[in-house]
Amino acid sequence: MLAFANAKINLGLQVTEKRVDGYHNLDTVFYPVKINDVIEINDAAITSFVSYGIQIPGDSSDNLCLKAFNVLKKDFDLPSQQITLLKNIPIGAGLGGGSSDAAALVKLVNEKFGLGLSASQMEEYVKPLGADCAFFINNKPVYAQGKGDEFTLFDIDLSAYQIVVVNPNIHVSTADAYSGIIPTVPVTSVKDLIHLPLKEWKSCLFNDFENSVFQKFPKIKDLKDSLYDHG
């Protein structure tokens, strides 16, 4: 069986507070986009994982697809599976590819083996795997708070617009993104800014990671400037 795991983008992102647990509180809107990884599962003698496409760093045993399967296997008598991933979503780009893969794997196993899990139950299984994993279960626009794991459905439809995602082949680590960040409670929240006419977003809707990322990777700033110059 096959599943398609789509990416997401952040419409604005505000880092509002450093938490006592070491994480940061965020305000952002997650919006799904049609860039897809492809996941296939087949019965096998032993459970294993293999990937193609974009190279995934690290050991395959750490992949979220395999971790998601093993989380389900603790509660269900599942037969061994060969998990195959075609990786198309760029890594380290904030597009949520790994989290989406985990969610898609859980939904795929739920369907194949008739586990009868509801959306909310599947969300509980994937939450320990990553802050934004649960978003990809329902895969609808949300206003995200907390460490990016507290969701409220958000009414926004950009289907009339062409969304362009540019991949400069630059991996931005979490440490790079947060370097130099000074958490600040904004005067106007992301969810309120997004209610403004879209043509005004350019002057008021920002991602707080931009300053630190642009300093370290000026090519990304050049790309943003070029996109804005072209409309």
- Amino acid letter, 7: A
Domain boundary assignment for the chain = 2-229
Extended beta strands in 19-108, E state = 24-43, 48-53, 81-87
Query: Is residue 222 annotated as a catalytic residue, yes or no?
Result: no
Q: Please report the DSSP string for 207-227 in residue order.
A: BTTHHHHHHH-HHHHHHHHHH
Given the residues 107, 132, 191, 208, the one annotated as active site:
132
Cα separation, 104 vs 107, in Å, equals 5
Instruction: Write the burial class of residue 209 (CB in 10 Å: 0-12 exposed, 13-18 middle, 19+ buried).
Output: buried
Q: Are strands 81-87 and 48-53 parallel, antiparallel or unpaired?
A: parallel
- Amino acid letter, 10: N
Q: Are strands 142-145 and 150-153 parallel, antiparallel or unpaired?
A: antiparallel
User: Do the Cβ atoms of 185 and 17 come closer than 8 Å?
Assistant: yes
Q: How high is the pLDDT of residue 37?
A: 98
* Tokens describing residue 82: 């060969």
- Amino acid letter, 124: E
Query: Is residue 34 annotated as a catalytic residue, yes or no?
Result: no
pLDDT at 44 over 80: yes
How do residues 108-144 score in pLDDT, each as one tens digit? 999 999 999 999 999 999 999 998 999 999 999 999 9
In the CATH hierarchy, which fold is given to the domain comprising 2-229?
Ribosomal Protein S5; domain 2 (3.30.230)
Cα separation, 11 vs 191, in Å, equals 9
pLDDT at 231 over 80: no
C-alpha dist (Å) from residue 10 to 26, 27, 82, 205: 11, 10, 32, 11
Assign 188 a pLDDT band (cuts: 50, 70, 90): very high
Whole-model pTM: value is: 0.92
Residue indicated by tokens 């947060």: 178
pLDDT at 208 over 90: yes
Q: How high is the pLDDT of residue 64?
A: 95
Cα separation, 15 vs 204, in Å, equals 15
